[in-house]
Amino acid sequence: MLARLLRKLILPVEIFCNTFQSYEVLFLSEKADWSIYQDGLNLQKYLRRRGVRLRIAHTLTGARGRIVHFGSISTFVSHESHPALHRNRLLASWFHVNDEATVSSIVASLLAHKVRVHTSCQITKVRLLEAGLPEAKICVLPVAIDLETFSPIQESKEVLKSELDLPKNKIVIGSFQKDGNGWGEGTEPKLVKGPDLFCDTLKLLGDPGRFHVLLTGPSRGYVKGRLKELGISFSHHYLKRPGDLRRYYACLDFYLMTSRAEGGPKALSECWAMNVPLIATPVGMVPDWSTDGVDTLVAKAIRAPELKAEVDRYLSDPSFGPRLAAAGQEKVQRLGVDAQAQAYLDLYRSL
């Protein structure tokens, strides 16, 4: 009863704050406290240090004469008939194209409402150009990471594994994401995130007793079911605060990212910041920022056999881990929110 009452009060409070609070940028987030909301928090934190107030909300109502940043393309779509659109300067982040059938109609709506589009990678930029969005309407800025939140842990891996009750005699593989449809158990796979490829890759590796998978994030039912079928041990924890991931990253032997499309992935910069070797599909920011064999091991194609080849490559050479970690730690400094905040501020003020 109390929770329902609080939910009913949130919208009027947001509208009041949108109307009367002093702020320069309104960042519209999805309702779930997940990746997009964290993007808003990161920008809010670092823009505040530059004297700029960014407000995070879930509704456009009440905003007038503001810079409005839709944190995701779905957030824009949910507001595309809102009467306040024409009263504000608009930016929408479009990280990757999910539904080819709707791309043209969304592009038409963006153009009709004079919305500038931010994306994080060249792959999405090319796809948006093909869909008819003019290049002048697109700005590419990477998904930034808060390096004050993600930094290497000094405690030994053995101590941390003991704290999380992880096996000490197995290779620990990380997967920290949401890859099931909806916000329930997630037994139906969200294929764009590649949970099937993740499990297929582990199946190809054989010797299930050699590995342990450390999972975080919501809706992991599909992966957990497949791991049980494969006889691979796993642990799953749902962590709400990004900073809690540090201890989990520090337990990993490597992170396996198997998405078919991405805006980031955030695992790219998080692994680099945490000195964790990353094996990844060539999606999102990976082709733009990573160098295969130097800071990341990049699969030659988005298929399980190619991913398995990169895992074999990593496991066959004990020197890979330290080399990848050192190169990634150097490169990630350019992806810090502090380093990127001025570019976002310049983008906002160019609208």
Which bin fits 252, alpha (ψ -120 to 50), beta or left (φ > 0)? beta
Instruction: Specify the pLDDT at position 4.
Output: 60
pLDDT at 3: 52
Question: Domain boundaries in the chain?
Answer: 15-144+337-350, 157-335
C-beta separation of 152 from 275 below 8 A: yes
pLDDT for the residue 1: 55
Q: What is the predicted pLDDT for the residue at 7? A: 56
At 101 the pLDDT is 80
- Tokens 């501020």 identify what position? 345
Mean pLDDT, rounded, of the chain: 94
In the chain, % of residues over pLDDT 90: 87
**pTM (2 d.p.):** 0.94
Any idea which fold 15-144+337-350 has?
A: Rossmann fold (3.40.50)
Q: What is the three-class DSSP state of 57?
A: strand
Q: C-alpha 52: how far from its chain's center?
A: 24
Query: What confidence tens digit (pLDDT) does each residue in 226-283 have?
Result: 999 999 999 999 998 888 999 999 999 999 999 999 999 999 999 999 999 999 999 9
- Tens-place pLDDT, residues 16-28: 898 999 999 999 9
Domains 15-144+337-350 and 157-335 share a fold: yes
Give the residue with greater pLDDT, 149 vs 2: 149
The mean pLDDT value for 51-57 works out to 96
CATH topology of domain 157-335: Rossmann fold (3.40.50)
pLDDT score recorded for residue 149: 95
Please, where are the H alpha helices in the chain? 2-20, 35-48, 73-77, 103-112, 122-130, 157-163, 195-205, 221-230, 245-249, 266-273, 286-289, 304-315, 320-331, 337-350
Task: Quickly tell me which residue has 């496991």 as its tokens.
Answer: 315
8: confidence class by pLDDT, cuts 50, 70, 90: low
